[in-house]
Structures are given as C-alpha cells and as structure tokens.
Amino acid sequence: MSGVAALAFPELKRALRTASRSPLARCVHKSLEACPAGSVVLIAASGGADSTGLALLACAVASRGPWQVRLVTVDHGLRSASASDADFVESCAAWLGVPMDRVRLSLQSGAALAARARTARHQAIADAAKACGAPVVLMAHHAQDQLETVLMRLVRGAGAKAAAGMPSRRRMRGVQLLRPLLERSREEIRALLQRAEVPWREDPSNADRSKPRGRIRHEVLPVLEAMRSGAAVRASRSARRLQGAAKALRAQAKRHMTGEGPWSRAQLRGVPSEALALALHRLVRAASEAHVERAVEAIRSANVRPRRCVLGSRQLRVEAKWVRLEDAQS
C-alpha cells in the first residue's frame, strides 16, 4: 500500500470509530493518562504502518480526551523515496486534521551513518516537541521491535540494563518519550489499519537482510513465532519485568560504589556480579563489556595480589582490602 494509491484515505469519522474500539486504543490512553489536560502530544511519524496506526489511535483517544495531537516527520534524505514518505505523512496529518512539522536532515556519508542518523532524528524530534510545547513524544515501537532489540544486544554481550530492551517511557533530551504499543504485535497494528481501510507506506529497507536487525526480523523471529505463537509479545512483557530487576540492581550498585572510591573489597565481594557490572558501567560509560567482566572477576577473586584493570580511559585498582578508580596513567 504505497505510492499514489496510499493517498486515498477513508472517511475520518468511521476510521476514528474503528480505532477507538480497538484494544490498542486502551494502551495509548493509559500512556497519556499522566499528561496534563490540554497538552500537546507529538507523534513521531514515518509513514509506515506502525506510526500511521499510532497516529490514528492517538487521534481517536484525543477526540474523547483533553489532548491535542500533532505529528512530526524527519526526512533523513538517505533514500530516494524519503521525500515521498514525508509527503504521505503530510497528507495523513491533513486527513486527521492535525498540525504537522516536517524536518529535513543533511547527513554526510561516512562511518556510523545509521547511528548518526538516529542521533540526529532524536534531536530533531526533541526540538520539535520543545518548539510546540509538547511534554511527551509517542513512538510506535512494538513487540517485534522490542524482541529484535533484545536479541541484538544479547549477542553483543550486553549487561542487564541494555539486555532488558527499550523502556516504555524514558527521558529523551528533556522530553518524555512514550512507547504505548511496546507489548502489542506488528500484526495487530496492521490489522487495525486494514479494518479502518487506512493506507500506509512500506519502507523497502525493512526487507533488507544484509543488516543484523533485518536478519533477525526475517530469519530468527519467524522461527521463534513458529515455536511459540505470540513469542514477541511474551518476550516484550518479560523485558518489562527484567527492566524492574535491572533497576533494583542499579540501586544496589549505587549504594556500594559512588565517587572514585576507595571501596571495601570485602563488601563489594558480597554484591551480586551483575550489580558490580552495572556500577562500573555507570562510573565509566566508555568501558567495554569485556573490560567490565574482567574487573568484576578481579574484585570477586580470592587472589589478594594487587591488580589493575583497564576500564576505557580509566583503570580500576584492586588491592587486598580496597578497590579504587584511577586515571589510566596513575
């Protein structure tokens, strides 16, 4: 459903009624309950099925609630069809009767382009939210997105916080970011759009299997779904519970390791390994997972011989009774 045919939107009143009756609408309403009455809710829209579905749901919820919906789309300029996608979002906003902001990025080709594009997109969305006074931004990540993220981080050897996936809410450059559909499936969102006869744009890069996320999406997730129907939704719920466990571990780590030290090694040896790893990552964010792992092993070892463990640009000095953080040249 793309191209010129994608501009044929149905009767708005009927589409909103269909969306308001969907269980997905309850998820969106629950996310917005803490938003002040009359506040602007900014939807990050790409023209794809997920964000188009979210925009429709947000408008259905706002039609019965005290919120104002606004769309923002970011054109990275990295694909020939990106301008057409932005045009579609503009048409969708006009159909929904809501204002829209369109941001065009100018990115230089080169190393880490995907990461730079993501950073620039987040900054553009945050700037748009601040400009229109929106306290929250809604993003359309769903259960399959969550499972893909968890699997990618696990194979990289991520710790508890990262392996727990994307949170349903977090601060992003001074703006509250909400993901109300994180525990709902991609299929459920598309089924809603089909019932409401609402078109969307397909991003051809989603079919690209040359990148890790594409391979997981097309080769790994179908196997997991065949093994257990609803695997992605179940995994997303598990990720939410793991986020709570990771938060508890971070609180424990913070109690035992703040500042530069020195810290009692005897006390640290009684702290769970994962809590120590989280504390070291918090103290030295550039430290690699392998370096953190070796530092944790040194702390918990029975060996009393002094050791120095590299942690990014810093080092951890582990002595018989004390542990302290030092500059690498110390």
- Per residue in 283-292, pLDDT (tens digit) is 888 888 889 9
Is the residue at 229 inside a domain?
no
Is residue 167 over pLDDT 70?
yes
Is the residue at 250 inside a domain?
no
Contact yes or no for 44/51 (Cβ under 8 A):
yes
* 56 and 124 together in one domain: yes
Is the residue at 218 inside a domain?
no
* 116 and 177 together in one domain: yes
* 129 and 261 together in one domain: no
* 175 and 266 together in one domain: no
- Number of domains comprising the chain: 2
pLDDT of residue 247: 86
**266 three-state secondary structure:** helix
* 279 and 195 together in one domain: no
**159 three-state secondary structure:** coil
Q: How confident is the model at residue 329 (pLDDT cuts 50, 70, 90)?
A: low
| Nearest C-alpha neighbor of 261 from the set 328, 320, 317 | 317
Is the residue at 211 inside a domain?
no
pLDDT of residue 283: 87
- Per residue in 72-106, pLDDT (tens digit) is 999 877 777 788 999 999 999 999 999 999 999 88
Contact yes or no for 21/105 (Cβ under 8 A):
no
Is the residue at 178 inside a domain?
yes
Across the range 298-308, mean pLDDT stands at 92
Structural domain of 11: 3-143+167-206
- Partnered with residue 309 across adjacent β-strands are 316
Which of 206, 221, 237 corresponds to the end of one domain?
206
Is the residue at 124 inside a domain?
yes
Is the residue at 136 inside a domain?
yes
- CATH code assigned at 7: 3.40.50.620
* 134 and 40 together in one domain: yes
Q: How confident is the model at residue 1 (pLDDT cuts 50, 70, 90)?
A: very low
What are the CA-CA distances from residue 58 to residues 70, 165, 316 (Å)?
A: 10, 24, 49
**CB burial string 134-173: b at 16+ within 10 A, e below:** bbbbbbbbbbbbbbbbbbbbeeeebbbbbbbbbbbeeeee
Joined together, the tokens standing for residue 147 give: 């499972």
* 197 and 304 together in one domain: no
- Per residue in 220-275, pLDDT (tens digit) is 999 999 999 999 999 999 999 989 888 888 888 788 788 888 999 999 998 889 88
| Nearest C-alpha neighbor of 246 from the set 280, 278, 293 | 278
Helix axes 143-155, 186-196, angle to 10 degrees: 160
- Per residue in 10-54, pLDDT (tens digit) is 999 999 999 999 999 999 999 999 899 999 999 999 999 999 999
* 61 and 121 together in one domain: yes
Contact yes or no for 159/281 (Cβ under 8 A):
yes
Q: What is the DSSP string of 117-135?
A: HHHHHHHHHHHHHHHHT-S
Joined together, the tokens standing for residue 241 give: 């519970």
Residues 6+ apart with CB under 8 A from 203: 46, 47, 48, 79, 85
* 190 and 317 together in one domain: no
* 139 and 281 together in one domain: no
* 185 and 262 together in one domain: no
* 276 and 183 together in one domain: no
Is the residue at 120 inside a domain?
yes
DSSP state of 304: -
